[in-house]
Amino acid sequence: MAPGAPIARRSPRGTMKDVLELGHGFSHEMLAMLVLAGLATVVTETLRVDGGTFKIERVRITDAGRLAIRG
């Protein structure tokens, strides 16, 4: 099983990319390959807090990705 797969299965709303990359062993390149293969999607959101604007990219596992994890 790929590093980070258990957390990806448990988190239906997604996990921050930096957390996946640093804490679970996913690199930017690996995330891009998962998205290109249809195993994950990226949802971009804008968050406005205390006058600041932040771009958030949530990486979410797709149904195809869940099937691939199950084998």
pLDDT in tens, 11-23: 555 555 555 565 5
Would you say residue 6 has pLDDT above 70?
no
- Report the domain count for the chain: 1
What is residue 38's predicted lDDT score, i.e. its pLDDT? 96
pLDDT in tens, 40-49: 999 888 888 8
Cut 0.75: pTM above it:
no
Q: To which H or E segment does residue 42 belong? A: strand 40-49
Best CA proximity match to 24, nearest among 57, 1, 55: 1
Cα atoms in the Cβ-side hemisphere of radius 13 Å centred on 30: 13
pLDDT in tens, 53-66: 888 788 889 999 99
> What are the φ and ψ backbone dihedral angles of 36, each rounded to 5 degrees?
-65, -30
Residue 26: which domain range?
5-70
